[in-house]
Amino acid sequence: MSLGFCLLLVVAQDPLAVRPDSVHPGHDALRYQVALQLPDSGSQITASVAIGWRLTSRDPIRLDLDSIFSVSSGSLNGLPVAWQREGPRVSLSHGHAPGDTITTVITYTGSPTDGLIIQDGEDGHTFFADNWPDRARKWLASQDHPNDKASVGWRIRAPLGHTVVATGSRTAVDTTERGVSWTFDMTEPTPVHTMVVGAARLATTQLPPATCATHCVPLSVVSYPADSAAAVDGPFARASEMIDLFAGLFGPFPYRELRHVQSSTRFGGMENSTAIFYSTGAWRTGRLSEATVAHETAHQWFGDAVTQADWHHLWLSEGFATYGAALWAEHLQGFEGLQERMAQAAKTIREGSTKLRPIIDPSESDLMTMLNTNNYQKGAWVLHSLRGMIGDEVFFAGIREYVRRFRHGNAVSRDFASVMSGVAETDLDWYFLQALTQPGYPILQVRTRDSGAEVELQITQVQDEAWGLFRIPNLEVRLNDQLVSIDLEGREVTRTFTARGEGPVVVEVDPNGWWLLALAPSGS
């Protein structure tokens, strides 16, 4: 048996490294260069997308692109090339060897039905991309999978009077007979689902730059003029402070700037690299909260700079961002603010149906369904319990090392587990297997027997057998004013402690809230 086969077999058997996605990238896209013409009226766009590739095989290049678009031309290294339509894909043969680098260009025209949202309404004629999870293919010819990150450049012709935003930093604005041409450049690799554009009659409000102790990160709010007050006294008022906090906890901000943009996204917030899009409806009705801004800002590190290599490891994005919002609450309100956020998350998990399934769930194929309490709230609890178990110093050192190692790349849960085990200098596989591959959480039945001088404490796991048993090291229990710790390993543990105080013993399990668990009635 070859070494390579052995390594593949190990990966295949490792539940923390599984990659169940049914679609995988073919070749390695290195750079997108997009020329996009947005119409003065109507919804028909024209796009020319040049992609630099590193080939991995002699197979054709296959681009995701909605069949509604009419492809007018294709080229390879500057020469015309034949292309074929394969339903929602465009296929180009190349005749080159693995390892070669080539550039392809396709030009196409059509009216997108999704992905690029074009609307006429009270805000005028507006354009906003809304790619998540795999809707970029509805308007942008691409290899639309999070495991294929690339840099991107834009040249966008927009109607006069429109302000354009796009992933990356603006490098030029030129006025021509046909409108205004806006140029943006993003040198850092980013997943296709965060490659976005937006154009409307917008106003820009500059916020104080962040992290100027190391290097200043320009920060702005881009909104419809009537809604720009939110930049001053709304959920963005402390946006710079958020970046300062997260840079200290996670490592340097991964991009050159950040803009918070009012848009047509279907989500409350969408974490596009350098240009976070927020729902206009939430913005105008006051439903856009500071917690959402913190969540999306944390995504710039988790989901954008470090991206899940397979959708089934989405908790590496959403769980981290959810915990980022909890860390922001801790920053503002102290440990009680953190406890409150995590208690709310626990309540959501207990009331939801996804508790019946594990976080890493190879049986799930619907990407929208993955936006669930497992990847958000339970993912945050994976981090919170880990922090409580190994301590703040080791935990945040591990987070920073994970970001440093996989910055502008991809990771699966195995990668995170390995980094944390290395920094903690202990094998944490048992914890990650328990937290990510078992459904549910421990449900504990607690009984006490008070003999006067001693208190016997018995804790039994009574959750559904399908959930399995959980290991909880150093589980804190308060007996009146006495705080003790118990290693729960196995179905039941019994410990005896010296009694303190008078009267019946009052028991409080996990008083500081480090574990996701529930209590069952004590019974007889």
Flag whether pLDDT at 143 surpasses 80: yes
pLDDT on residue 362: 96
Flag whether pLDDT at 41 surpasses 80: yes
Mean pLDDT along residues 449-478: 93
Helix (H) or strand (E) holding 348: helix 335-351
Place of tokens 């409806």: 281
* Confidence label for 8 from pLDDT (cuts 50, 70 and 90): very low
pLDDT on residue 451: 76
The model's pTM? 0.95
pLDDT on residue 176: 79
pLDDT on residue 364: 95
| Nearest of 185, 288, 303, 290 to residue 250 by alpha carbon | 303
pLDDT on residue 1: 39
From residue 241, how far is each of 89, 250, 317 by CA, in Å?
44, 14, 21
Flag whether pLDDT at 4 surpasses 70: no
* Confidence label for 5 from pLDDT (cuts 50, 70 and 90): very low
Flag whether pLDDT at 492 surpasses 90: yes
Flag whether pLDDT at 523 surpasses 60: no
Q: What is the pLDDT of residues 277-299, one digit of tens each?
A: 999 999 999 999 999 999 999 99
Rounded distance, CA 305 to CA 320, Å?
12
Q: Pull the structure tokens for residue 19.
A: 């990659």
Flag whether pLDDT at 130 surpasses 60: yes
Mean pLDDT along residues 164-174: 97
The DSSP annotation for 378-404 comes to IHHHHHHHHHHHH-HHHHHHHHHHHHH
pLDDT on residue 10: 41
Q: Which of 16-25, 103-112, 435-444 shows the lowest per-residue confidence on average (mean pLDDT)?
A: 16-25
* Confidence label for 32 from pLDDT (cuts 50, 70 and 90): very high
Flag whether pLDDT at 105 surpasses 50: yes
User: What's the mean pLDDT when you consider all of the chain?
Assistant: 94
Q: What is the pLDDT of residues 301-353, one digit of tens each?
A: 999 999 999 999 999 999 999 999 999 999 999 999 999 999 999 999 999 99
Greater confidence (449 vs 8) lies with 449
Rounded distance, CA 167 to CA 253, Å?
15
Give residue 77's identity as a one-letter amino acid code: N
Rounded distance, CA 396 to CA 419, Å?
12
Query: Percentage of residues in the chain with pLDDT exceeding 70?
Result: 97
Mean pLDDT along residues 263-270: 97
Mean pLDDT along residues 423-438: 98
Mean pLDDT along residues 91-110: 97
* Confidence label for 207 from pLDDT (cuts 50, 70 and 90): very high
* Confidence label for 9 from pLDDT (cuts 50, 70 and 90): very low
Flag whether pLDDT at 157 surpasses 50: yes
Q: What is the pLDDT of residues 48-67, one digit of tens each?
A: 999 999 999 999 999 999 99
* 54, β-bridge pairs: 28, 101
Q: Pull the structure tokens for residue 400.
A: 């920073």
Flag whether pLDDT at 164 surpasses 90: yes
Mean pLDDT along residues 154-169: 97
pLDDT on residue 61: 97
Q: Pull the structure tokens for residue 313.
A: 């490891």
| Nearest of 3, 16, 101 to residue 432 by alpha carbon | 16
Flag whether pLDDT at 384 surpasses 90: yes
Flag whether pLDDT at 465 surpasses 50: yes
From residue 30, how far is each of 54, 155, 283, 304 by CA, in Å?
7, 18, 35, 16
pLDDT on residue 12: 54
* Residue 107 near residue 72, CB atoms below 8 Å: yes
Neighbour-count burial for 162-195, b at 16+ CB within 10 Å, e otherwise:
bbbbbbbbeeeeeeeeebbbbbbbbebbbbbbbb
Rounded distance, CA 131 to CA 115, Å?
5
Mean pLDDT along residues 344-366: 96
∠ Cα 438 444 448 (to 5°): 155
All domains of the chain in start order, with CATH: 28-200 (2.60.40.1730), 203-304 (1.10.390.10), 308-437 (1.10.390.10), 443-520 (2.60.40.1840)
Mean pLDDT along residues 408-435: 98
Q: What is the pLDDT of residues 227-266, one digit of tens each?
A: 998 888 899 999 999 999 999 999 999 999 999 999 999 9
* Residue 269 near residue 293, CB atoms below 8 Å: yes
Mean pLDDT along residues 515-522: 94
